[in-house]
A and B are shown apart, each in its own frame.
Chain A
Amino acid sequence: MNKVFNRIESIVGSVITVKALGVKYNELAEITTRFGKSLASVNKIDGDTVSLQVFAGGQGVSTGDEVRFLGSEMQVSFSDDLLGRIFNGSGEPRDNGPALTDNLKPIGGPSVNPTKRILANRMLRTNIPMIDMFNTLVVSQKLPIFSISGEPYNQLLARIAMQAEADVILLGGMGLKYDDFLYFKDTLAAGGALSKTVMFIHTASDPTVECMMIPDMTLAVAEQFALQNKDVLVLLTDMTNFADAMKEIAITGEQVPSNRGYPGDLYSQLAARYEKAVDFADSGSVTVLAVTTMPGDDVTHPVPDNTGYITEGQYYLKGGRIEPFGSLSRLKQNVNGKTRKDHRALMDSMIRIYSAFKEAVEKKNMGFAMSRWDEKLLKYGELFENKLMDLSVNLSLEQALDLGWEILAECFDRDETGIKSDLIEEFWPVK
């Protein structure tokens, strides 16, 4: 019953209109142009005038091109065959594998009933001390990585993908540089993690509309794996590109912009994606880590700002390190009391002393005399930055805690750290 139309009434940006009856809102259509086929989705119906968003963009679409309505909304095939595969925003293979069309599942589905969620309470180990020890990632948490362009955020994501204790990894790339795409592919292959990974990749040269599909495709697949009792880790990079794609399309569609050109529903749109993070009662989970680049290191820019209101904390990547001050995992309290009994106390003290170190550096830079205490702080700061903060450090939580004690012992006397005496008694390294 697929209806075919070959009279396109108007083409504006990536939106075309046709005269058609009986078309459903959000329905998918296939348009055949001289450059090949592209999917399009219905985004407005006014009487018999149907507007469609063409995934491949409006370029080269002719008024005489053929539009065929498919009768269903955008779907994604789901099975274990997805593992190890790479797709684009339309769900077509980007590798040389076969197209998958079985067991189609809708994307952008309804949200989880809050009474079917459980309180996040399991730690997700990454073996990165700045995460595990200081801002523990929790299963089902949604956390952005706030970063300036140029920071090694994709390297960080790739490392987390390889080291995190997750059953399945979903990688959604939006506006990715082709080099970065290759980097992910090669790193995961070399690390042997490719076989548990599914990638949905939109590179910077692909059509904008496809960029908008990436999070929904990725999260729909993640949700399906989670319902099969799998712990899924979703990595998205970069959500600012996703927001910019939305902006571009909203403006072309003559929507009234609200803040710096972004559409008024930016918050709802971002939230609809991030809220897919879930720990199902009696089933698996979805954890979301998403890179958000901050134009001009401005955290009040609409994208990081709205993201901050949605997510459960943020990792702040600056100068190639995860900054201990701007970063926050709101859920860490749920888990870090159950790891090792010195975890919380050591975390608090090391950060407190590190902040004293920052003050000492400031004093030094202003030319004030350094006291003996300041000298100790400077030594501590240097050790802390090199041995724990550096992104290349790869230690289990327990090793990191032990190392923390060693660093303290190397710089300070037992009673200078402000840690409770019974913990000092038990953990202070004996030389």
Chain B
Amino acid sequence: MTENKGKVISINGNLVSVEFEGNVSMNEICFVLVDGVALKSEVIRIKGKVAQIQVYEMTGGIKCGDEVEFTGEMLSAQLGPGLLGQVYDGLQNPLPVLAEKAGWFLERGNYADGLDSEKKWQFTPTAKVGDILRAGDYFGTVPEGAFTHKIFLPFGMLSKYTIKSIAEAGEYTVKETVAVVTDERGREFSLTMCFNWPVKRAIRCYSERLAPKETMETKVRLIDSFFPVAKGGTYCTPGPFGAGKTVLQHTTSKYADVDIVIIAACGERAGEVVETITEFPELIDPKTGRSLMERTIIICNTSSMPVASREASVYTSVTLAEYYRQMGLNVLLLADSTSRWAQALREMSGRLEEIPGEEAFPAYLESYIAAFYERAGYVRLNDGSFGSVTIGGTVSPAGGNFEEPVTQATLKVVGAFHGLSRERSDARKYPAIDPLISWSKYNCVIDSKKSDFLKGVLLFSDEIGSMMKVVGEEGTSVTDYVGYLKGDMLDSVYLQQNSFDLIEANCGTNRQRYVTDKLVTVLGSEYSLNDKDKARTFFNSMRQRFIDWNYTEFESAEFKKAEAEIDSLYKEGNGSISKQAEILLKGGEQ
């Protein structure tokens, strides 16, 4: 805390102008003192001796002349062991601690440390006296749940440091000194197990950033097989209300093949956060055998919480994600919803009386969104290991119209687009990702040629479907009609997936490969079906058998039995496989 102080000279909503004396930096944190309560705020504009600050709380009761204390520091997240399993607000205050202090409501000016300063952690040094450290290097570890939490030289220490002393293995709190280092000029620094990092700055203490290649399994067939997401990649899920954005993210947060999941509930319903908090501790993570909550961090700034900290919550979440990436872990950040974050920017921009861009969003909207998604990435760390941050953001376009600025700005920077459609959700086809508009630049878990072949089946079927709306079933040839039925079947047995059934929802890569091979065979075959009624009956029963198959455990006896049912029906229909499908199944060789 600096001695720098100022006085309030005007108030407009949560925008307050302050006259100050010494030096004030942009994005510096300050506190407005009102009726004995200090309200956290951030400097967002400086003109002469007047700083304009956004207050992260409700501003009622502030008057001209009220004192403001500047801290000299930017909005920071506290990084160290003990982040996993926490439920934070947008400013990294642990909500259960706030509830203990203030009861039912989020009273303003009530803050708490992000990390528990009492708890002891089992520290094991991994470096010795005389070792040289650079930013991003670690000198010890503590066990945190299923993970080995590395203790780093703070990322902001930018020169070369020599370890002068280091604590022995044993139990320490995050605030106790565990090492002393000296820099090249001989100045000493005491290191603890935690440090602060300004949330609006990306953590770049790695050796190299690489292109994302490896697919991140989400266990959602439609995503993994057709519109995949890579570890270290980015994707967005825009959709109108009720299309199932949140359910889809909820499923992803449970089943995604990553080490750590960070859920940023940004400006959404409190009830959904309550659902996660209630449900996750009861669920078991198949990878570690521990509760799902132990790999999860929830940052929630729900819609009725102050708007300015909604903006901060997005940055706090991505900072925590980057921190765990430094440990060689794969982290998934799910932001729901980035539109609410953009609206927070819009509200502030309006108060600052900036010239508005499209739909009154500020002109810098695009660059802010781009900068946020660019904090994802797959990196090689100083010790040679790899880590990733994957970002998935939902977008809530006004009126479900994807032409609006937030969706468009997001589409420019992400690697995959999962567009949810009202049409599909109304028809109860979940997940309601529209296969005809979605795309991905990453590698899918199945052979990409097979993926393209199946997409072709869908596309053809859609064309016939729209044609049939005009000419009717009567005017369609049997061959075309069969093409239509094939796409329809693919949609119901593979694209649609019941996220509430444990087996069905958790469809791994091997199973996806196995099932798509079967689908290539069935959909890539000709049948002796000479009229439409026969064709419809055949594909209806084929569909039913595939659905039954989906609900059996992979490679179990029932699975094989259900598969045999499909094979026997295939024989009954005199299926003969086409040349194209045969080549595909042989792996592209003639």
Contacts and interface: CB of A to CB of B under 8 A. Distances in A.
A295 to B, nearest CB: 13
A112 B104 contact: yes
A22 B65 contact: yes
A234 to B, nearest CB: 15
B288 interface: no
A395 interface: no
A275 B270 contact: yes
B105 A110 contact: yes
Contact of A111 (B87, B305, B360, B400): B305
A265 B11 contact: no
A111 B302 contact: yes
Interface in B85-107: 87, 95-96, 98-99, 102-107
B99 A113 contact: yes
Contact of B58 (A110, A275, A301): A110
B241 A309 contact: yes
Contact of B10 (A45, A113, A115, A119): A45
Contacts of B105: 109-113
Interface in A266-292: 267-268, 271-272, 275-276, 278, 280, 283
B64 A48 contact: yes
B204 to A, nearest CB: 33
A114 B300 contact: yes
B159 to A, nearest CB: 42
A422 interface: no
Contacts of B186: none
A21 B62 CA distance: 12
B62 A24 contact: yes
B401 interface: yes
Interface in B280-338: 300, 302-305, 307
Contacts of A96: none
Interface in A249-269: 255-259, 263-265, 267-268
A399 B96 CA distance: 44
Given A114-B87, A300-B400, A302-B398, 6 more contacts: A111-B105, A268-B267, A268-B304, A268-B347, A305-B400, A309-B396
A164 interface: no
Interface string A118-129: 111000000000
A355 B136 CA distance: 60
Interface in B64-119: 64-65, 87, 95-96, 98-99, 102-108
Nearest to A302: B398
Interface string B348-370: 00100000100111000000000
Interface in B234-276: 240-242, 267, 269-271, 273-275
A110 B61 CA distance: 14
A356 interface: no
Given A21-B64, A24-B60, A113-B102, A120 B360 contact: no
B399 interface: yes
Nearest to A307: B241
B577 interface: no
A264 B426 CA distance: 29
B278 interface: yes
A258 B346 contact: yes
A325 B300 CA distance: 32
A111 B106 contact: yes
B59 interface: yes
Contacts of A48: 64
B64 A47 contact: yes
Interface in B209-251: 240-242
A310 interface: yes
Instruction: Give the size category of A's interface with B.
Output: 35 or more
Contacts of A109: 105
A305 B589 CA distance: 52
26 contacts: A22-B63, A25-B60, A25-B62, A25-B63, A45-B64, A47-B64, A73-B60, A111-B304, A114-B274, A114-B300, A115-B96, A117-B270, A117-B271, A118-B274, A256-B350, A257-B360, A264-B343, A267-B303, A268-B303, A268-B347, A275-B269, A280-B104, A302-B398, A308-B242, A312-B269, A312-B271
A328 B242 CA distance: 9
A283 B103 CA distance: 12
Contacts of B102: 113
A22 B300 CA distance: 36
Contacts of B63: 22-25, 45
Given A26-B59, A275-B304, A116 B278 contact: no
Nearest to B275: A119
A349 B191 CA distance: 65
Contacts of A268: 267, 303-304, 307, 343-344, 347
Interface of B: 9-12, 58-65, 87, 95-96, 98-99, 102-108, 240-242, 267, 269-271, 273-275, 277-278, 300, 302-305, 307, 340, 343-344, 346-347, 350, 356, 359-361, 396, 398-401, 426
A251 to B, nearest CB: 13
B64 A22 contact: yes
A227 interface: yes
Contacts of A263: 350
Contact of A114 (B277, B399, B401): B277
Interface SS majority for chain B: mixed
Contacts of A177: none
Contacts of B302: 111, 114, 275
A46 B241 contact: no
Contacts of B10: 44-47
Which 9 residue pairs are nearest across A and B when measured between Cβ atoms? Answer: A300-B399, A271-B303, A275-B304, A26-B60, A308-B241, A258-B360, A111-B304, A46-B10, A25-B11
B274 A264 contact: no
Contacts of A26: 59-61
Contacts of A115: 87, 95-96, 99, 277
Contacts of B108: 110
Nearest to A271: B303
Report which residue of A111, A301, A308 has the largest number of chain B beta carbons within 10 angstroms of its beta carbon. A111
A114 B61 contact: no
Report which residue of A44, A265, A276 has the largest number of chain B beta carbons within 10 angstroms of its beta carbon. A265
B270 A265 contact: no
Given A25-B61, A119-B274, A267-B340, A113 B95 contact: yes
B44 to A, nearest CB: 16
A313 B271 CA distance: 13
B241 A113 contact: no
A24 B35 CA distance: 11
A271 B304 contact: yes
Contacts of A25: 11, 59-63
A112 B104 CA distance: 6
Contacts of B344: 268
Nearest to A111: B304
A110 B106 contact: yes
B277 to A, nearest CB: 7
Contacts of A312: 269, 271
A25 B60 CA distance: 5
A265 B343 contact: yes
Contacts of B240: 308
B14 to A, nearest CB: 10
Contacts of A110: 58, 105-108
A116 B304 contact: no
